[in-house]
Structure 1
């Protein structure tokens, strides 16, 4: 059996795009009214899986380089507060499926997000009880592949599985030497055939099917 399941967050456990758009636009409009409505669902979903400074550079391309970090810090504080209060949209049957999976496997989250974002997800939806550990580049300064390896190492996992929705998730899991299951209902796609699920509720059967002998 797998001895641990590691999850991506955005596009795998929930859809928080609308919350991100609202919180980021509030900051941008306050800084410059001409930036009102700049962040849209379409351009945010096109950035899923990217590191946060790269997302800012893509969404606000005219920003001077020296202003990226201060703007990003403000955006993320407002985003965490908004997400913790308002939450996002959980994919169907996430809570019931996590409860089922947690009976047989320790669960973890590794996401390319800022410090405090996973905690905001837990606060908004009360799902922290199902997860043993989590990691992100906001805490470690490391890319996702390194953070996957870090969670695997510090939890003594020998046969983990990573579940994510983007090509970047697949690449990070591969870098860390961890098998990958594609959440095909999410934001991304994989450029070649890999095991996948079309709904979150399909995970228990898929994990059992893929478990090493």
Structure 2
């Protein structure tokens, strides 16, 4: 690992799903409950299906998974899924990656930490409450707040908190592309849901690798 990175940054911006936790089981449970409540969605929702759309904006997910629904039904189903998702996550949460708190404790002593995700409003807040890790983070932003792309949310966090040399840490090609558009270097979390072949400044195989890298 590149020891030079230890002095390179003043802020770490994290993706959430596939980087800090895995909520696919809870999200699939919520969307399946929504599917059973309506009569027009025929496809069962599985954790594997949820993992496959990781990193997409909340609107794009439903366009991708339910292309046969007309726009009105898709919008209705999306709203019901969103409601049930927050309810289930509040109760069941997600799986925190091993060593998450000890690594965040170390990192927060050296950097300001942030979360930027393509999730709906309220999702990051539930993660922070469920994990009891809110005190390690200085701020967060998501797609649901302003319906703007992840790259714009990254740039907004950088500007709002006057970060001079931030880095984005995520697990999908979409995360890499967003960080590139935002002009921020990228660290690839290979244990997550996606694959990034090139362009990252470093790759971590587990979350705790960040203690060695940064």
Q: Deviations over 1:187-213 (max 9, x none)?
A: 100132531000100102212xxxxxx
Alpha carbon RMSD of aligned pairs, Å? Answer: 1.4
Counterparts in 2 of 1:103-122, with a 5 A limit? Answer: 103-122=109-128
The offset of 1:33, in angstroms, is 8.1
Structure 1 counterpart SS, 2:195: coil
Out of 139, 142, 146, which is 1:136 matched to?
Answer: 142
1:177 aligns with 2:191: no
CA contact (8 A) 1:53 1:68 kept: no
1:45 aligns with 2:51: yes
Out of 37, 55, 80, which is 1:30 matched to?
Answer: 37
Moved more, 69-78 or 19-28: 69-78
CA contact (8 A) 1:174 1:180 kept: yes
The offset of 1:23, in angstroms, is 0.5
Alpha-carbon distance between aligned partners in 1 of 2:87 and 2:145, rounded to the nearest angstrom: 17
Residue 8 of structure 1 corresponds to: 15
Alpha-carbon distance between aligned partners in 2 of 1:180 and 1:106, rounded to the nearest angstrom: 16
Q: TM-score, normalised by structure 2?
A: 0.92
Q: Deviations over 1:122-173 (max 9, x none)?
A: 1211111111000011002110000000000000000001000000000000
The offset of 1:57, in angstroms, is 2.2
1:69 aligns with 2:75: yes
Q: TM-score, normalised by structure 1?
A: 0.93
Residue 107 of structure 2 corresponds to: 101
CA contact (8 A) 1:165 1:186 kept: yes
Structure 2 counterpart SS, 1:200: coil
Residue 172 of structure 2 corresponds to: 166
Moved more, 151-160 or 47-56: 47-56
Structure 1 counterpart SS, 2:73: helix
Gaps of 5+ in 1: 208-213
